[in-house]
Every structure is written in structure tokens, then in C-alpha cells.
Structure 1
Amino acid sequence: MPNENNVQDRLDQAMNGGTPKINPDEQRRYLGTFRERVALMIPVSAVSDDAALNQVRQILTAHSDYNLLINGNLDNALQSPYLKLAGELHAKFTLKNSDDYGTAPDQAAVVVAAANAINVENIDFQAPQQQTPKEQSNSRQSFWQRLFHH
């Protein structure tokens, strides 16, 4: 009786909110898309970092077909630079306003994603490291230190 099972499956789906999602936790983490489509994910804790905005600019400039997903639950002041950037670059963007997308520091604020799988290995935003000036210890070395260390 395959028809009865099919009808029961459809009734169960309708009662549970429609078609079941594939990897719903992953989709919540990446603002509604899959991990394999993500080029960059900026957490809420880093969304106001200028380096994050510059990385988004670089990626969208290099890949005009990518989509910018912005957590719509964030304050407008945090969303605004990314919306402005999308307008400048004529990039596709989507504000994601679902209650599934939180504003905790480790949750996604901005995601740059492709329509298909791109499988980027490291998608998490990394702030550039501050370079410290090297100490010039060579200028105070004794004659013997310079002689034997070169």
C-alpha cells in the first residue's frame, strides 16, 4: 500500500510545518545557507571591525555572483556599512530577519555565500595581526657576538 504511506508522509509534513529542512542547525548558523556555499562568515563580535568590511569588499569584488546575507536582527548601525557596500558594488544581498538568527557574539552577523558549493576551507573572519616592531638587538652586540653569530 504505497499510496497510504505517501499520503501519511504528506500529512505528517504538513502538520510539522511543511517540507523538512536539510541540516537545519547548519542553516541557522550560516543565515539560511549551507556551510559548503560560504566564502566568509563574520560573527557579531567582529561585525564593526573595518578589516571585516574590507574582506567582504575584496570577496564581492572578485566574485560578483556571490550573495551577501546580513543578520536583520542586528542594530541598524551594524547593518548599514554592509548595505552601503552592497549598493556600491551592485551586489545581491538579503536581510535575514528570522528569530532563528541570534545576536550573541559568536553568531553570524554577515555571511558571504555562493549559489552553489564552493568548499572554502577557512571561512571564519580572522582579524589581521598587529605587527610589532622588531627589536634592534644587533646594534648593541659586542664584537665577539657579531663575529660568531654571522
Structure 2
Amino acid sequence: MTENNLDPHLQSGLYGTPQLHPDEQRKYLGTFRERVSLAMTVAEVTASKNMAGFEKELLEHPDYHVLLNGTIDQNILAPYITLTHKHDVKFTLTSNNDTPDGVEIMGLVVASEKNAINESVIDINEKYPIIQVEAPEKKKSFFENLFD
């Protein structure tokens, strides 16, 4: 080998294979932001109110891949895994313990496997807002109005 070809081999052997945007890949459970269609933090995964938005995303994109944070309790992830099986969507449990400080790791990511989709809104609360329906006010009876 010539000296020009030797240096990359030595660098790769000493430091590992170079990665493109490793912090971004850690945050989005091993994929790039440009491939993400929907992202949920760990707190949003634990809230059951987000299941409907997740199911809508699976129905709209059955060819996408679901990445689940494997450090979350399996009892919490079970409904999400059940939905992926129900809609025949592939999923992967990932766990990465070498997270840098200050980087919030997602709890669940729905992403295209190979293509960049460049969704501008990926947060579940922005993409599928939960509409609070207020109960209609109960009409007061004649006697309640009389003594009020």
C-alpha cells in the first residue's frame, strides 16, 4: 500500500469508521432528521393520549419504519408494538447508552428507511394536536335560576 492509502486505514482502525452527523443519529435513534416523519420524546411515549396520532401516522405511511427506544419500559412500549403489528409496519428496538450530555433522545421515531422526506413538522403535538372537547354547560333548572 502506498502512504496515501495507508492513512485512512490507520485512522479507521484507531478511531472506527467515520460517521456523518453522529449526534443527530443518536438523537433520532440511529437515523437522520431528514428521514423522520414523526418523533416522540420519552415523555410523549409514556402519555397514552398520543396513541391516536401515532396510529394515524402508521396508516398514512405503512412503508415507513418505526424505531423504538429500547431503554423505555417494555410495558409502555407494548401498545406501540401491538399497533405496528396490527398495521404490518416494521419496527426496531434500539438502545444506545453513549448519549452525550444535553442531547434529548427520542422515545419513538417513524422514519423512511432510505429516502429523505424532509418533513417540516415532526413533533407529535404539532402534527396531531389533541383537541379538548369541552362539555356543554348544563342548563339550570327553573328552581336553580329562581334561587340564584
Q: Do they fold alike, i.e. is TM over 0.5? A: yes
Residues 1-150 of structure 1: pairs in structure 2 closer than 5 A? 3-17=2-16, 19-100=17-98, 106-115=104-113, 116-126=115-125, 127-132=129-134
State the Cα deviation string for residues 50-95 of structure 1 (Å, max 9, x = none).
3322222111112111000000011111211111111111110000
**How many pairs does the alignment contain?**
131
Q: Give yes or no for contact 1:43–1:110 (8 Å, CA) kept in 2.
A: yes
Q: How many Å apart are 1:9 and its aligned residue?
A: 1.2
| Structure 2: gaps spanning 5 or more residues | 138-148
Q: Distance in 2 between matches of 1:34 and 1:85?
A: 24
Query: Structure 1: how far apart are the matches of 2:63 and 2:75?
Result: 26
Query: Is the 1:41–1:125 contact (alpha carbons within 8 Å) kept by the matching residues of 2?
Result: yes
Q: Check conservation: 2:36, 2:118, Cα contact below 8 A.
A: yes
Q: What is the TM-score normalised by the length of structure 1? A: 0.77
What is the CA–CA distance in structure 1 between the aligned matches of 2:25 and 2:50, rounded to whole Å? Answer: 21
- Cα 1:61–1:101 change in 2 (3 A) is farther
Question: 2:99, 2:88 → 1: CA distance?
Answer: 25
Tell me which amino acid in the other structure corresponds to 1:78. I
Contact 1:39/1:113 (CA < 8 Å) preserved in 2?
Answer: yes
Contact 1:71 1:101 in 2 (8 A): no
Pair 1:3–1:55, CA change in 2 (3 A)? farther
Q: Which runs of 5+ in 1 are unaligned?
A: 136-150
Give the secondary structure class of the aligned counterpart of 2:58: helix
CA distance in 2: counterparts of 1:72 and 1:33, whole angstroms? 15
Q: Deviations over 1:33-59 (max 9, x none)?
A: 000100010001111223322222111
What is the identity percentage for the equivalent residue pairs of Structure 1 and Structure 2? 39
Give the structure-2-normalised TM-score. 0.78
Once the two structures are TM-superposed, the CA of residue 101 in structure 1 deviates from its matched residue by 5.7
Deviation at 1:128, TM superposition (A): 1.7
Per-residue deviation at 1:132?
A: 4.6
Question: 1:5 offset after TM fit, Å?
Answer: 2.2
Match of 1:143 in 2: none
